[in-house]
Copies of this chain bind each other. A is one copy, B any other.
């Protein structure tokens, strides 16, 4: 990961500002001969699209992706796949106020200090709108990983309200506006977040993403560990402040006995009795599901005025009106899935470059 490019062998470069002409990405290093259509990519984009419930921003963007290159006769050719989405709903307005002000919690000040300039319209480059291209690229990554690898995500906490893990039901995730796997908690959130929204306030969230069917051996120690790359990938999503693998921070309180994932043989494969490790040991996938969580801070755009400063160096008060997500964590679910898919696709290619004969299941090498 460097600057606006993600990955080593399977690489994604994104571009575009929230209110510019278009946003787009170039997916490079994709293996050839993989069937790829706009629909493959559009599916997850639609899941991330704003304006689908009252709990996300009311900006109306069809987010219709176009494939500009790299696909021929319906399959990938091994050359760069350029994807582009035209920005449609760049609502015309007067930006003179926001242009000169630094909103707390936003990247306004830091972009200005780093670059001496920023495109202030809708957050410019630092807008979560950029994540649409991550989701688009993630759609390609999923195809590279193939149907054997299944990547899903769910929202497991909004504000102080965590789901009950024992009620987890993947089938529920698409049945509510929160990607919530626990219908009882979804109902609770509906009330809670409704109140937050009406108050012009905002709430944080925790998302869990899971990849099943990941072959063992992915991950490149020491400085390209699978969990290290996942941590960077998830932390790079807007507003994320924490990342965990498997037990995560809870592991600190466990004893070595409780945290050990015991192993046994079954049908010639190594099988684990538990998955405290979240599918990764020594930076390398074990073949178990890869489990990661990330925390999203509450949306920084709130109605209540906060103390800040402006470009002229004056103390000011600033509150945000207009369209915003009361909980940006909701739409981060498909984004988190996409980032996990991108990391895994990159590592799949890196792994087979060095270890083309490695087993794809937890089958022990012959002695």
Alpha-carbon gap, A281 to B70, bound state (A) = 20
Confirm or deny: A2 has a beta carbon within 8 angstroms of a beta carbon on chain B.
yes
Q: Which B residues are CB-close (under 8 A) to A362?
A: 109, 113
Q: Are B118 and A77 in contact, CB atoms less than 8 angstroms apart? A: yes
Q: Are B4 and A8 in contact, CB atoms less than 8 angstroms apart? A: no
Q: Are B241 and A70 in contact, CB atoms less than 8 angstroms apart? A: no
Q: Are B260 and A302 in contact, CB atoms less than 8 angstroms apart? A: yes
CB contacts under 8 Å to B, within A320-367, are 329, 349-359, 362, 364-365, 367
Q: Are A284 and B358 in contact, CB atoms less than 8 angstroms apart? A: no
> Which residue of B24, B104, B223, B299 contacts A263 across the interface (Cβ within 8 Å)?
B104
Nearest 6 A/B pairs, CB to CB:
A107-B282, A202-B256, A353-B353, A110-B284, A204-B252, A232-B232
CB contacts under 8 Å to B, within A115-173, are 115-119, 124-126, 130, 157-160
Given contacts A247-B241, A309-B265, contact A298 B68 (CB under 8 A): no
Alpha-carbon gap, A5 to B15, bound state (A) = 14
Q: Min CB distance, A188 to chain B, in Å?
A: 14
CB contacts under 8 Å to B, within A14-61, are 14-17, 20-24, 26, 28-33
Alpha-carbon gap, A311 to B265, bound state (A) = 11
Closest B residue by C-beta to A363? B113
**A–B Cβ pairs within 8 angstroms, 8 of them:** A5-B28, A22-B82, A33-B115, A114-B355, A116-B355, A201-B255, A223-B236, A262-B306
Q: Are B77 and A124 in contact, CB atoms less than 8 angstroms apart? A: yes
Q: Which B residues are CB-close (under 8 A) to A258?
A: 298
CB contacts under 8 Å to B, within A236-261, are 236, 238, 240-249, 251-261
